[in-house]
Amino acid sequence: MAAAGPGPSSSVNLNLTATNKDKVAYFYNETSAKFHYGEGHPMKPARLGLAHNLIVGYGLHKKMQCFTQRRATEAEMTEFHSEDYIEFLRRVTPDNANAFSKFLSRFNVGVDDCPVFEGLYDFCRLSAGGSIEGGRKLCAGTDIAINWAGGLHHAKKFEASGFCYVNDIVLGILQLLRVYPRVVYIDIDVHHGDGVQEAFYQSDRVMTVSFHRYDGSFFPGTGSLDEIGIRTGKNYAVNVPLQEHIDDASYAYIFEKVMQNVMDVYQPSAVVLQCGADSLAGDRLGSFNLSVRGHGHCVAFMKKFKVPLLVLGGGGYTIRNVARAWTYETAVCTNTELPDALPDNQYIMHYGPDYKLHSNNVDRNAENANTRQYLDQIIIAIRENLRNLNWAPSVAMNEIPPDLQGFNPETGNWEIDEAEDKNADMRVDQDKFGLDPSQRLRRDKELNDFDERELYEGDNDQDHDG
């Protein structure tokens, strides 16, 4: 029986008055929440349904342009990934996986972290489609685009890695580069954003900035301070290697110092922010000690620069806290003050015993291993690397990649975007909760069976709760 405590709020007094006129696009498709990596796997797409239900419960959808996440095409995904890899993802299923044994090893699929599950290709297409369309919306004049199903930063050109198969982030950035000369990519996942860094490691068009735990062995094992890029991309990769149990104050200190420096020197024309929620305190695979407010502070800080902003999801394995964080960060994007009491919604019992947005998840006894001296050393080293840039690179128009069909270079608008804006049938029903009734029993069973019990044990148990 759950511990006694305050129940959910049945009525919530919302402040739905925006403080400015930011135009925010929000992408969601209820199908994204229905995939299942397999019993015992820590990655749970169901978290997308929980987050969406809170977002709708708070009424945040009324302050955004809401779009049904579309599926990326094979041609769009091969803008970055190899054709044979995408073809493999399209064809492999749990039923025929044995026939693809040679390719499973080659593409790092069928292993513990990247299993072959039902609907794998569709899952990849939806995640990628949201980030591609988010990038296009920004190019067409939207201020902020949100795709919580995106942020799968470990995927490589030729292989899967770390629960990630298709790198929607790279695909979204490629959209932005068709219009914007320089893009900054920021990663606040507890794990290093290795796939995105690798994709742009030789380019000065994209500066990658990753804040992550690094000790040489924590997955994926990359992200040291001296990984700065090569050739044309030298000094355009920025890594902030952090120690365990970093708290809100320390994280805000180094994030603000580094990002202010990056924005001043590089002067990007667009920003992509990966909001991996495994950097929250109490995450099953993480080891940081951030509150929901501390995590969301990064979104608020970057929003102040008033540069087109693509906001994406990422890691996060204590799914009730993932939903809390992404709901709060959606509120930040829409300039909305939310009450702490959660609104009633179909998954409310997962947020007990306090039923609050800002649950007390921070470990007060954890010792922050990041001293001010250590953080200052990182800040100084990064400042010296950035000083070598001297100025933000200029870009000749012929260096911008050719666009996909439908882009009008004179207006910067996509015909498909205009059609979606005018066609109400393409929008998410603003009064509909995330999952249709026919799917709720199955999803509720999965959440009840696995939400509190599916975690790694032994050496892989990062929260050490047995």
Enter the tokens of residue 191: 């794990």
Residues in the chain: 466
Nearest Cα to Cα of residue 352 among 451, 464, 247: 451
- Terminal alpha carbon distance of the chain: 20
**At CA 154, angle to CA 151 and CA 160, rounded to 5?**
115
At 422 the three-state DSSP class reads helix
Give 466: exposed, middle or buried? Use CB within 10 Å, 0-12, 13-18, 19+. Answer: exposed
Q: Identify the DSSP state of 183.
A: E
In this structure, which long-range contacts are made by residues 397-404, counting pairs with CB atoms below 8 Å and at least 24 apart in sequence? 399/205, 400/177, 400/178, 400/179, 401/174, 401/177, 401/178, 403/178, 404/75, 404/76
Return the amino acid letter for 178.
R
In this structure, which long-range contacts are made by residues 206-209, counting pairs with CB atoms below 8 Å and at least 24 apart in sequence? 206/173, 206/177, 206/182, 206/236, 207/182, 207/183, 207/236, 207/237, 207/238, 207/262, 207/266, 207/268, 208/236, 208/237, 208/238, 209/184, 209/185, 209/238, 209/239, 209/240, 209/258, 209/259, 209/262
Q: What is the largest CA-CA distance in the chain?
A: 64
Catalytic option among 81, 154, 192, 295: 154
- According to DSSP, the residues that pair with 9 across neighbouring strands are 343
Give the pairing type, strands 65-68 and 24-28. Answer: parallel
State how far the Cα of 414 lies from the Cα of 137, in Å rounded to an integer.
8
Give the CA distances from residue 217 to residues 18, 260, 364, 440, 441, in Å, rounded to whole numbers and listed in that order. Answer: 44, 29, 26, 40, 40
Q: Cα Rg for the chain, rounded, in angstroms?
A: 21
| Residue 81 known to be catalytic | no
State how far the Cα of 449 lies from the Cα of 363, in Å rounded to an integer.
26
Instruction: Let me know: does 120 contact 157? Beta carbons within 8 Å.
Output: no
State how far the Cα of 269 lies from the Cα of 247, in Å rounded to an integer.
30
State how far the Cα of 173 lies from the Cα of 118, in Å rounded to an integer.
28
State how far the Cα of 230 lies from the Cα of 232, in Å rounded to an integer.
6
Instruction: List the catalytic residues.
Output: 154
